[in-house]
Structure 1
């Protein structure tokens, strides 16, 4: 087949699919197909929080030029063409307690059980700087790269680490090629200035980079921590755009103030990004991150130094306190996306990270082992590391990569137009943009357009209540589930005070086949706010069944459930009977139009539909139940 005839066949197949889409949409919307326009498939498109459009179908029409091979500019397919495919990415894990001996035992055990990179908390809440050597006793840093998390003590921690490396070198540690020892010092003043985390001064980080550049080991002094933006609510492209703006600010300072060449300055930077359970977004995000940073290096005249290391950390914002076991699934998807997307090292947060230690009755070693084994399963059993950039050539992933990169670059240009990262930060441009995205996401979650499984959909109201002390202290993460979990906290407090949860009566009208859809919907919705639902089964209007059900339940809130047709026949009478039996607030599961003719006492007090702001509605309902107020 010739190229021309092949292209024609592709267009014909696509046109046929368009006609099928138009037929289905026309039927579901009860309109003529011609009314949907020449591109009906656009009605099926979705738009991400960054404004990136995701099409319902990708075909050869969406094919993009092939990217260069891994290890070559612009590094979309990875920075290392020689990565060991039998090992895959580095399995990173976080360590660090006040006891150096305990930390050392945990590190050595993890290294024997699959961990291949270390992320060590030093200083406040971690290993004392003076005990760093003890914490790393027996650790071969040429085999396990080390990242420090030392906050404001990073300069002291770096010097202690350099002293340790020098002492080992003088003692003949068997490492002939010092460059095989890879260390990230973790100084991150620019991104910490956004998040409010304790960190070294900007000038101190620049001085540290100059010291690091003179080392024989491979040392990256500065980490551009994009998770600071993600944890505040940023979209993926916003995280990348703000991160590369911060990276460029570092480059300017490193070359102007420390005397480093642009190549040496680029070699001092590493990036850290969040990985979420949206696997395709995550795959494309890490590929796009390399693309946009390579462009920065190219403009600076140092394309060969544009392949900065990437450290992926599973999103803290997506982690839920309620039904936290589901977090294991979230982190599995996130690790998959980061690994396939080409991250050099991946850290999976423990599934109970949003809760205080011991809340679930499991040990810290258990949750850490599950986090580690999540990656090992992907590498050792699913073999995801065996191929470099396995998503390459996917019409969807390649298109998504380019769109995320372009959108990130636009945000970066907006920051640059404001005078650079620090100026944009001071002007509120970065925080304002991220706050708007967070508000949009919060609204979607509140309206249940975006699902958080186990929280705003399919909640487990029977799980063990959480105490006020269960929440992990000091968290500054805008967790997606927070608003619904605040409602669940109120429910737990109500249960602790009175021995029962806030409760509403379901009033099913008609047969099970008629009311089942809406009783299921109502139960699920109420449970997401911590409200239990009592379902007495089908209730017949005018037969004392409603009165008996109200009396047996002992509640003052009821939800009518049935079909629109049944509402037209029986809703007004059912509302009247519920009120006569002592119900002071009657809601209807369905649209207001279903009882458009109802007035006065026969009209429901509110309507529960899939489109409501569930957080607002459930807050109002909890207020009513807690105060015992009448309408």
Structure 2
């Protein structure tokens, strides 16, 4: 059998043959239903072939791959774990432990709970001379920057690291400290798409380059900081696309120089409820960062929105160590190179981001274009929020498979309080529903096999805001349904059943509807809305509905009924 298997040959299938098989498997659904439109406006195909890639890129394919590989700043994936601590003693003890257990770059956000006094700054200075670093500060007057005053002049040339700040800071005598940061992570956390992030990075670079006396002086200070989201292939392509774009950018100045790519896991995809899902997100994001060619990376602990613990910090560090030591992706240069899908996606991002960058430059640069850029990012954010609230985009533990028993931490990490997280509207409404002690019930009417899918769907929707609905076994008769309506103390009830059963019996069932009760029906009954309204139906719960808008209306209505 083994010899026979070795000799078997499979004839390659053409795209048209695959398409015919897919259409047959779809059983009446259009083939176009397999295409996906991303937030960037890029249409993802269900299958990518070598011929498609050649048709799209032609001779440019080899150039794209070569450019990405030649623009590699380093061959390392530097672990840059952020330090935490309530006191200076605890903070520096955590720094020491992290360095002993695999951390490679000291990462400090100046917004801490203790004072950056002389002792603390002297301690920081000792680390800056010994290790590479990433500092997150709030401007030139940030107290943490005074640590550089405690570094001896003869050691200044050894100091090497990155400073991220909303406004560029100036450091004299520290030539290896990069202070020109295109902070794409900041616009990412406001809702930007991959195209907008890439264009912003280039536009920021153009601004800094124009402010320096020479391109070489600018390049020595410049780096880009990305946030890596959960859209795995898009994020790999984004990081690779930046290297292609950077080559085109430097070529305009007659230069060819690589630039460091610093990155971190995305906070906008994090949630306060079911925080261990954040760990899964961080792992996914870290792998895509490693494949995409990041030089320095920070993994945020899964409970970073509240207060990281020793355990969560250790897990965050180990996420990086597992990928660097055990996944072996770093043993291959450009692991995604040659992938039909990722190369096509990389090329699409390059084209769209370069076009948007030129639009920014034609308007006078990123400062002149600021208002329009903010409006574009806001539009992208609103689209992403809508996709989450209508479940076109899943956010596990938040808009789907939510755990209603989960309790959110009361503490809030001020470092990330400003991030426009897509889970935030669900968390706010959940807090409101909990405070109102909202009571809901599901009235399952009909056979179990017909009732269960819709009843489970409704229960899942209510779970997203922490409501656990009362639900009896399926009720077979109108009398049983009326009896349930009469005895339940729930102010919000959803009738779940097969279409025909609901149409035939809803009027009779709602004869028992009590004053103050809000009764919805599971499903979409467009042709019966008038009749249902006359029978006493208040609304509907159905797939594709905006969950937040629906549940906000339910809470408002039930509150009025309780007055």
> TM over 0.5, yes or no?
yes
Tell me by how many angstroms 1:160 deviates.
Answer: 4.2
Matched, 1:116 2:114: no
In structure 2, the CA distance between the partners of 1:587 and 1:110, relative to structure 1 (3 Å rule), is same
Matched, 1:15 2:3: no
- Which secondary structure does the structure 1 equivalent of 2:82 belong to? strand
In structure 2, the CA distance between the partners of 1:135 and 1:97, relative to structure 1 (3 Å rule), is farther
Tell me by how many angstroms 1:470 deviates.
Answer: 5.1
Aligned to 1:172: none
Summarize deviations over 1:537-573 as a string: whole Å, max 9, x none: 1113333x22332344311321111112322332332
Summarize deviations over 1:252-291 as a string: whole Å, max 9, x none: 0012xxxxx3123112101100101111111111111122
In structure 2, the CA distance between the partners of 1:13 and 1:567, relative to structure 1 (3 Å rule), is same
In structure 2, the CA distance between the partners of 1:104 and 1:466, relative to structure 1 (3 Å rule), is closer
CA contact (8 A) 1:465 1:492 kept: no
Summarize deviations over 1:571-605 as a string: whole Å, max 9, x none: 3322334x1x5572211110114745735542521
Tell me by how many angstroms 1:412 deviates.
Answer: 0.9
- CA separation in 2, counterparts of 1:621 and 1:156? 49
2:418 corresponds to which of 469, 476, 480: 476
- Which secondary structure does the structure 1 equivalent of 2:48 belong to? coil
- Which secondary structure does the structure 2 equivalent of 1:312 belong to? strand
- CA separation in 2, counterparts of 1:585 and 1:343? 53
- Which secondary structure does the structure 2 equivalent of 1:615 belong to? helix
Aligned to 2:430: 488
In structure 2, the CA distance between the partners of 1:386 and 1:18, relative to structure 1 (3 Å rule), is same
Tell me by how many angstroms 1:75 deviates.
Answer: 3.3
Summarize deviations over 1:85-112 as a string: whole Å, max 9, x none: xxx5111111266855443322221011
Tell me by how many angstroms 1:146 deviates.
Answer: 1.1
Equivalent runs, 1:116-515 vs 2, <5 Å: 116-122=104-110, 128=116, 130-131=118-119, 134-136=122-124, 139=127, 141=129, 144-153=131-140, 160-161=147-148, 164=151, 166-168=153-155, 182-186=160-164, 188=165, 192=166, 199=167, 205=169, 208=171, 211-212=173-174, 215=175, 218-255=176-213, 261-303=214-256, 305=257, 307-355=258-306, 357=307, 364-425=309-370, 428-464=371-407, 467=410, 472=414, 475-494=417-436, 501-515=437-451
- CA separation in 1, counterparts of 2:412 and 2:120? 31
- Which secondary structure does the structure 2 equivalent of 1:316 belong to? coil
CA contact (8 A) 2:292 2:334 kept: yes
**Structure 2 runs not aligned, ≥5 long:** 1-10
Q: How many residues align?
A: 548
In structure 2, the CA distance between the partners of 1:184 and 1:575, relative to structure 1 (3 Å rule), is same
CA contact (8 A) 2:106 2:127 kept: no
1:546 corresponds to which of 454, 463, 481: 481
Equivalent runs, 1:510-529 vs 2, <5 Å: 510-529=446-465
- CA separation in 1, counterparts of 2:491 and 2:237? 51
Tell me by how many angstroms 1:211 deviates.
Answer: 4.7
In structure 2, the CA distance between the partners of 1:160 and 1:460, relative to structure 1 (3 Å rule), is closer
Aligned to 1:615: 548
- Which secondary structure does the structure 2 equivalent of 1:267 belong to? helix
Aligned to 2:8: none
Aligned to 2:3: none
Summarize deviations over 1:113-161 as a string: whole Å, max 9, x none: 011112123477676274465324764856x311222322468755743
Aligned to 1:79: 72
CA contact (8 A) 2:198 2:353 kept: yes
In structure 2, the CA distance between the partners of 1:96 and 1:150, relative to structure 1 (3 Å rule), is farther
Aligned to 1:175: none
Tell me by how many angstroms 1:379 deviates.
Answer: 1.8
CA contact (8 A) 1:129 1:157 kept: no
Matched, 1:62 2:52: yes
2:494 corresponds to which of 547, 556, 559: 559
In structure 2, the CA distance between the partners of 1:594 and 1:571, relative to structure 1 (3 Å rule), is farther
- Which secondary structure does the structure 1 equivalent of 2:357 belong to? helix
- Which secondary structure does the structure 1 equivalent of 2:338 belong to? coil
In structure 2, the CA distance between the partners of 1:157 and 1:612, relative to structure 1 (3 Å rule), is closer
- CA separation in 2, counterparts of 1:471 and 1:99? 15
In structure 2, the CA distance between the partners of 1:61 and 1:573, relative to structure 1 (3 Å rule), is farther
In structure 2, the CA distance between the partners of 1:154 and 1:396, relative to structure 1 (3 Å rule), is farther
CA contact (8 A) 1:77 1:342 kept: no
- CA separation in 1, counterparts of 2:422 and 2:90? 34
Summarize deviations over 1:347-395 as a string: whole Å, max 9, x none: 011111222x3xxxxx632221111111112222323322222111111
With normalisation by structure 2, the TM-score equals: 0.89
- CA separation in 2, counterparts of 1:454 and 1:613? 17
- CA separation in 1, counterparts of 2:179 and 2:120? 17
CA contact (8 A) 2:129 2:155 kept: no
Aligned to 2:94: 106
